[in-house]
Amino acid sequence: MRQCAMSKGLKVQFIGKVINPPRLNRVPSEHKGTYFHVYHINKIACWLANQGWNVIFERGGDTGVVPALRNITINTAMSKSTMLYSILHEAGHVRLFSRPGYVEKYKDGYVRLTNGKNKKSLLHKMDVLAEEFDAWKEGEAIARELNIPLDWKGYKTDRNRSIKTYVEWVVK
């Protein structure tokens, strides 16, 4: 079985893959900055891989999750802090998928896209919006569980910017 190696000798067994992760060129510190963010981005990627998810880092791609393929894609063109917040958010979706009752709770949201039903209805849009909010909340919980200190102002700024796009989509 492959291992997901982190600095300081931490190794995590996993069945998923981490493809093209950001490089950690120096020892991470407790201070904010690029190396801090890269260390924690890789920590979350390893956590996801351990759950059986493939985490793909690519420049210019869409950040998102494809449950049927168990793939998470992170756009590396973003700032490192935004990459950190985004991977936490996508990990939040992963946690929501694993919960009993997920399909029932969000049946008219993203689930609806797989069954060919009308994706323009207000019911669909509101379930998507609800799941997006919940995924950000789960991302916060995952950060606490993995002992990842967050810049809450930055996290909320990125969360609000993302949620705003969904709110604008709902009211169209």
> Which residue ranges make up each domain of the chain?
3-171
pLDDT of residue 119: 64
Other residues' Cβ atoms within 10 Å of the Cβ of residue 21: 18
Please determine, for residue 165, whether its predicted confidence score (pLDDT) is greater than 80. yes
Who contacts 97 (Cβ-Cβ below 8 Å, separation ≥6)? 67
Mean pLDDT of 98-107: 89
pLDDT in tens, 132-160: 999 999 999 999 999 999 999 999 999 99
Mean pLDDT of 78-99: 95
Most confident of 10-19, 85-94, 95-104, 116-125: 85-94
Q: How far apart are CA 85 and CA 168, in angstroms?
A: 21
pLDDT in tens, 104-143: 898 888 776 655 556 678 888 899 999 999 999 999 999 9
